[in-house]
Structure 1
Amino acid sequence: MPDPPRRQLRCALPLLCALLAAVSAPCPPRCACSQAARTVECTSRDLRAVPRGIPADTRTLVLTGNRIRLGPESLQELRNLRNLSSLVLRDNRIQDLDSRTFSGLPSLRSLDLSRNQLSVIHPEAFVVQTGSLRDLNLSRALHNPSSVVDLAASLRRGSLEALQVLDLSHNGLVLLPAGVFGGLEALQVLDLSHNALRAVPEEGLAELDQVLDRVPGAAVLLGGNPFTCSCSIQPLAAWLNRSWSLVQDAADLRCASPPALRNLTVLEAAAALPLGCPRGPGGAPRALQTSYVFLGLVLGLVGLVFLFVLYLNRRGIKKRVFGLRDACREVWEGYHFQTDSDPRGARGSAGTEA
């Protein structure tokens, strides 16, 4: 039976070997590594690709402030990191995301692509084999607002059923495409703050309702958008009254125009709008419905006046019609007379008969 000190030594040997292996694990040049946290950080190193030699057990990789292009070489380096759970690619001037760019990272849970210049996003750019992605940061990531169309397709087809946090703030979005959040079944936080939304139509509000109704406690952020507080803001105000507790920054939803309502909250501005703005039962503003009815009445009145004028002048109109008919008859008879009296026409007809 081995003595206790020898037994303790045997138990400590595996731990000592693991510690020595961790200490001797290589770190890529120009990067800082933490073996305890399994983190590799390469910040502002002017890297053009994912560095080689990243330890295979790395869980967090930070590549902020470089010029990394996600080409074949970088993708191959990423595919070697099977345990990577957090990838930070902030501020790398990335413009394109190809199909299944991150599919080789089965453990990826958090992806930060903020402060890039995305202009082309493949519909399957965010597909991860295991569907493990939970947090997607795209703040200041879109090169122009039109990129939201590509983004919408990638969110619908990206196998993001488990995504919980989506940050789309500071992207200049002017609208929410139909069905953009349709496949995000587990979304808990949606950040749409500081964009260019001037109003949210009823279709967009229906999209937000779908997000908020799926998961208990889900929340959305809409502050910092330049809302135009005209009659078109009424649907948003009514939605805020219903969903006040689910909008984390509801008090920050303020009007940017018109000048008379600037800096008022959306709810304050909705209460200050004219009486013509309340909504009718058909969904369109009542003032708009009234204007359509008034236009129809005016056109009908104009038609009646026109018919009445024709009726009053029926005799004069009849006389003018008869005069026009007689004039046309005289012109026609004169034309035939000139044709019959022309000798060349007579000779021509005689020759024809011969």
Structure 2
Amino acid sequence: MARRPQRRALDPAGPAALLPPLPPAALLPAAPPPPALLPGPAPGAGGAVLLAEVLLLLLRGVCPASPPAACPSAPCFCFSTPDTDQCRYLALHAPPQGLPEQVRNLSILGGNLTLLPGAAFAGGWRGEDDGEWTGDEDASSSSCAPRRPLPHLRVLLLTHNQVEVVEGGAFAGLPSLSVLDLSHNPLQSLSVSAFAFCPHLRLLRLNHALLSSPDTLLQEGSLANLSLTRLELRGNRLRDAPPGWTLPPSLRDLDLRNNSLRGVKGQRLDSFLPLPALRLQLTANPLDCQCASLRPLLRWQSNATWRVADARNLRCNSPARLKDALLRRLRPVQLGCPPNEDDDEEEARGWGLLDTSREAPDPQLETASYVFFGIVLALIGLVFLMVLYLNRRGIKRWLNNLREACRDQMEGYHYRYEQDSDPRRVGSGDL
């Protein structure tokens, strides 16, 4: 008789005891699972054991195991990937410290970061609290290197944080930073060396951030030595474009939408000569459609229409007779420029005006054209019906003649068939 194998006693901790320990409870986004799922299974409860293992693995995936200092000291939202941290609408009075070195995206929204000191996101300058720091030292020297640099941080979003002062080297310790957003902050002081330690910065957003003194903050030269390709300055009440010498030579897109520009002065456009690939965006500005205000801009983009990316959407705000009129549909005479007789249209096309080939047609004109086309088709149909009515007798006679001709033809075919089928007409050779 075969011996039945003995059943081994199960470990009271179950397979869950073989898993590594969980991270601290502070890093978990939700409460731990119910205790009823954690103890070892009773006999016949294999499904519960499997469910417990799956839950534990999922919990480890939501917040991976890391030291307690992985998240900053201030409350933050932990995500499933260790390279993203977010702090939203928290009482932050200073940049968060203790960020992990592998973080790549940092978003702080709704804080109260009125001052961004040097190396604000890298733990400050080394030796600053040890008596070794002096304000006259060069920030690039080794004695004042950032304490905890973040070499992988690429995206830094700091919108709605009440930032007023940005000191020199505020973003030191972030060598890979490529996107920086300081929009919706009441900036009052922007140091010349504020972005000095950002060699790979490509996109800078300063939308609604220069309302206090936009011209002064831009002309301090804090952007000239950067490698920017796009600069956004929307909603800053700018009355003129920033001069070319304050912009980096690599700049390609300058967003000036939703400002107070009535035009662009010729001197400012001449300063853009060192920026051969620069494109402007000027929508939602109160443009003054007069010759003195717009002639420099129109001549600047006459040989390269791509220089004003949204030229098709530009509308006039003044004078009153041209309010909301599309700029591309106007003539130089309508702008108040001296008439040039026969060369008026040629000059207008040289300025990029009268270009309606790619514009959407007027809806009213399009509707009127469809109505006219329908009326023409209705008249043609009516004439055709009248012709048929007036010639009804002739048409009826023609149909009768056609029917009689078809009948005679069919009778001839029938007669030939009957003659061919008569057996008395079969020849002797066919028998």
CA contact (8 A) 1:164 1:186 kept: yes
Q: Give CA-to-partner distance per residue, 1:54-83, whole Å, 9 cap, x none.
A: 212111110011111324694553742232
Q: How does 1:173-192 map to 2 (within 5 A)?
A: 173-182=238-247, 184-192=248-256
CA contact (8 A) 1:155 1:180 kept: no
Distance 2:193 2:119 in 1: 20
CA contact (8 A) 1:237 1:267 kept: no
Q: How does 1:253-272 map to 2 (within 5 A)?
A: 253-271=314-332, 272=334
Distance 1:20 1:259 in 2: 60
- Residue 313 of structure 2 is aligned to residue 248 of structure 1: no
Q: How does 1:136-175 map to 2 (within 5 A)?
A: 136-144=204-212, 146-157=213-224, 159-160=225-226, 162-175=227-240
SS at match of 2:156: strand
Q: Give CA-to-partner distance per residue, 1:167-187, whole Å, 9 cap, x none.
A: 1111110123433444x1222
SS at match of 1:42: strand
Is the alpha carbon distance of 1:223 and 1:259 closer, same or farther for their aligned partners in structure 2, counting shifts above 3 Å?
A: same
Matched letter for residue 206 of structure 2: L
Distance 2:320 2:312 in 1: 19
Distance 2:337 2:243 in 1: 31
Distance 1:138 1:199 in 2: 21
Is the alpha carbon distance of 1:249 and 1:20 closer, same or farther for their aligned partners in structure 2, counting shifts above 3 Å?
A: closer
- Paired positions, count: 254
Q: How does 1:156-235 map to 2 (within 5 A)?
A: 156-157=223-224, 159-160=225-226, 162-182=227-247, 184-211=248-275, 213=276, 215=277, 218-232=278-292, 233-235=294-296
Is the alpha carbon distance of 1:24 and 1:175 closer, same or farther for their aligned partners in structure 2, counting shifts above 3 Å?
A: same
Tell me which residue corresponds to 2:81. 36
Tell me which residue corresponds to 2:408. none
C-alpha deviation, 1:209, in angstroms: 4.8
CA contact (8 A) 1:68 1:94 kept: yes
Gaps of at least 5 residues in structure 2 are 1-60, 125-145, 341-431
Matched letter for residue 234 of structure 2: S
TM-score, normalised to structure 2, is: 0.53
Q: Give CA-to-partner distance per residue, 1:27-70, whole Å, 9 cap, x none.
A: 23521133526010101112111123221211111001111132
C-alpha deviation, 1:133, in angstroms: 0.9
Matched letter for residue 244 of structure 1: T
SS at match of 1:236: helix
Is the alpha carbon distance of 1:163 and 1:104 closer, same or farther for their aligned partners in structure 2, counting shifts above 3 Å?
A: same
C-alpha deviation, 1:220, in angstroms: 2.2
Q: How does 1:48-197 map to 2 (within 5 A)?
A: 48-69=93-114, 70-71=116-117, 74-77=120-123, 79=146, 80=148, 81-128=150-197, 131-144=199-212, 146-157=213-224, 159-160=225-226, 162-182=227-247, 184-197=248-261
Distance 1:265 1:20 in 2: 53
Distance 1:210 1:268 in 2: 31
Is the alpha carbon distance of 1:177 and 1:248 closer, same or farther for their aligned partners in structure 2, counting shifts above 3 Å?
A: closer
SS at match of 1:220: strand
SS at match of 2:219: helix
Please point out which of 298, 314, 327 is paired with 1:237. 298
Q: Give CA-to-partner distance per residue, 1:265-320, whole Å, 9 cap, x none.
A: 33434532345277xxxxxxxxxxxxxxxxxxxxxxxxxxxxxxxxxxxxxxxxxx
Matched letter for residue 207 of structure 1: S
CA contact (8 A) 1:178 1:204 kept: yes
Distance 2:268 2:82 in 1: 42
Is the alpha carbon distance of 1:115 and 1:270 closer, same or farther for their aligned partners in structure 2, counting shifts above 3 Å?
A: farther
Is the alpha carbon distance of 1:100 and 1:89 closer, same or farther for their aligned partners in structure 2, counting shifts above 3 Å?
A: same
Please point out which of 4, 18, 24 is paired with 2:66. 24
Is the alpha carbon distance of 1:89 and 1:154 closer, same or farther for their aligned partners in structure 2, counting shifts above 3 Å?
A: farther
Distance 2:301 2:281 in 1: 12
Is the alpha carbon distance of 1:112 and 1:62 closer, same or farther for their aligned partners in structure 2, counting shifts above 3 Å?
A: same
CA contact (8 A) 2:75 2:90 kept: yes
Matched letter for residue 270 of structure 2: A
Matched letter for residue 238 of structure 1: R
Is the alpha carbon distance of 1:115 and 1:21 closer, same or farther for their aligned partners in structure 2, counting shifts above 3 Å?
A: closer
Is the alpha carbon distance of 1:179 and 1:20 closer, same or farther for their aligned partners in structure 2, counting shifts above 3 Å?
A: closer
TM-score, normalised to structure 1, is: 0.64
- Residue 111 of structure 2 is aligned to residue 47 of structure 1: no
Asked which structure has the greater CA Rg, the reply is 2
What RMSD, in angstroms, separates the aligned Cα atoms of the two structures? 2.9
Distance 2:200 2:96 in 1: 24
CA contact (8 A) 2:244 2:274 kept: no
SS at match of 1:260: helix
CA contact (8 A) 1:59 1:83 kept: yes
Tell me which residue corresponds to 2:338. 276
